[in-house]
Amino acid sequence: MTGSPSSWWSRRSLQVRITVLAAAITLGCLLGLAALAANKLDPLLTDSVDKELTAALGPATGAVSAGKPLASADPVTVRVLDIAGNPADGQARPKLTEPEVSQLKAGLPVQSDGSRWRGQVVSAPDGSQRLVVAGAGLVGFAAAVHYGGLWLVVVALVGALVAGLATWLVVRLALRPVARMRGLVRTLPPGSRLPLPTSHDEMRALAEEFNALLERQEEVSQRLRRFTGDAAHELRSPVASIRVQAEVAVTNPDPELAQETLSDILEESERLSGLLDGLLALARSDAGEVPPAEPVEVVSEVRAAVRRLPSGAPDTRVSSAVAQAWALAAHQEVELVLDNLLRNACRYASGQIVVSVLASRSKVRVVVDDDGPGIAPEHWSKVFDRFYRVSDDRARSSGGTGLGLAMVAETVRRRGGRVRVGESPDGGARFEVTWRARTGESGGGD
């Protein structure tokens, strides 16, 4: 034995399992009906004999009451007895005991010595009481009940076999379209779709769902290829720069030039490190790694993010209409969003950045405005794409990787929030992030 019955059963085909279940259920139902019928067979036959005896007993009692001779009632035997059970018709005494005679006088049926009797007490013309009895032999009665039950079992087995064969054929015909679809899937060329059946049934719904799955898979594959190509392209630049500068430092013994080259290498290494961190964060997000949400106080997080800005950053002002604004997110996510938005604003701002925090009962918003060159409206829908850079004044030697805003959008989106870009009142760019507020928290405006 290679495994448990459940594992053996799970390895069987769907056609076999449906057939076995249908046959087993049919057999169980038919056997139950056979047992019920067998139990009812004995009373049924007895009732039929009693009806014949009652039908023969009626004319006989009428004849005795009128003093007329009894007519033949084959195959039923009719006898006339006195109250004690002795013959009053000149024939031999029937094989009836005194208790059985008492039951017959009471109108109860009696089964004795292979015969069944029914009786009725009537008054003869001379005033004497007579017991008129009618009896019939039960030859073959037990055999009929026994073999009737056996035949019912045989019929149940045959019925289950027929049901199993019918189920096998029906399931085979029903699964034939599935087999054809499986063959089409096996030979389906890349980029192709399954042809939809003309009938609007489950097979068409299955083909539509499978085509939708293929479409999603191709979309994911294209995104992965595009992401891999963009990542390789982005990594090539800092790696090549570090290599060239290292070769210059190795071949040139001038300490002053070597120090300058090492500074450039450090800068490129930091850019490479930031790029790798961004790629890792996006990969974790794509894999569905989402830390549990918790209330995060956004106003204090904004002030902490402003303090983390490097020296020489443009003047940054925090404006908040509320003392506290609690958002449902994760602490590290809020830090990532604020740091990327502020670094992006610092990269392009001319001299000032304004960070506003607005809160209501249902949401918390953070708005970052800069006074830089801004973003043209035709780029607003693409600026959050991975590795996308605006080819205007905002892209001037910024050293950006094209991943910061993509991480902001992905981080906010997976929390059910929203991020938008627009035009700042100062003429630069405005980035607005919206999180869901903690239940029960209210703010001073929206």
For 358-369, the pLDDT digits (tens) are 999 899 999 999
| Residue 306: predicted pLDDT | 92
Which segment of 87-101, 222-236, 342-356, 363-377 scores lowest on mean pLDDT?
222-236
DSSP state of 291: P
Burial label for 139, CB within 10 Å (0-12, 13-18, 19+), is exposed
| Residue 421: predicted pLDDT | 93
Could you tell me which residues are beta bridge partners of residue 328? 295
| Residue 231: predicted pLDDT | 65
Q: What is the distance of C-alpha 168 from the center of its chain? A: 27
Percent of the chain with pLDDT over 70: 85
Could you tell me which residues are beta bridge partners of residue 112? 115
Cα(134)–Cα(204) distance, rounded to whole angstroms? 73
Which segment of 147-156, 273-282, 348-357 scores lowest on mean pLDDT?
273-282
Q: What are phi and psi of 183, to 5 degrees?
A: -65, -40
**For residue 395, pLDDT beyond 70:** no
Which segment of 7-16, 207-216, 281-290, 361-370 scores lowest on mean pLDDT?
281-290
| Residue 282: predicted pLDDT | 64
pTM, whole model, 2 decimals?
Answer: 0.47
| Closest by CA position to 190, among listed 217, 152, 228 | 217
**For residue 271, pLDDT beyond 90:** no
| Residue 230: predicted pLDDT | 60
Q: Tens digits of per-residue pLDDT, 321-348?
A: 888 999 998 888 888 889 889 988 998 8
Q: Are 201 and 177 in contact (CB under 8 A)?
A: no
Q: Tens digits of per-residue pLDDT, 102-159?
A: 988 888 888 877 788 899 899 888 888 998 988 888 766 667 777 777 888 888 889 8
Residue 274, number of CB atoms within 10 A of its CB: 17
pLDDT bin (cut points 50, 70, 90) of residue 38 is: confident
Identify which of 50-59, 65-74, 318-327 has the greatest average pLDDT: 318-327
| Closest by CA position to 340, among listed 397, 417, 401 | 401
Supply the DSSP string of 173-233, one letter for each residue. Answer: HHHHHHHHHHHHHHTPPTT--PPPPSS-SHHHHHHHHHHHHHHHHHHHHHHHHHHHHHHHH
| Residue 352: predicted pLDDT | 92
Cα(221)–Cα(215) distance, rounded to whole angstroms? 10
| Residue 287: predicted pLDDT | 62
Question: How does the average pLDDT of the chain come out, rounded?
Answer: 81
Q: Tens digits of per-residue pLDDT, 286-300?
A: 666 667 889 999 999
Residues 311, 316, 321, 326, CA torsion sign: negative
| Residue 396: predicted pLDDT | 38
Q: What are phi and psi of 90, to 5 degrees?
A: 80, 5
Q: Are 431 and 420 in contact (CB under 8 A)?
A: yes
Identify which of 195-204, 229-238, 248-257 has the greatest average pLDDT: 195-204
Cα(437)–Cα(418) distance, rounded to whole angstroms? 13
| Residue 219: predicted pLDDT | 79
Sequence letter at residue 132? V
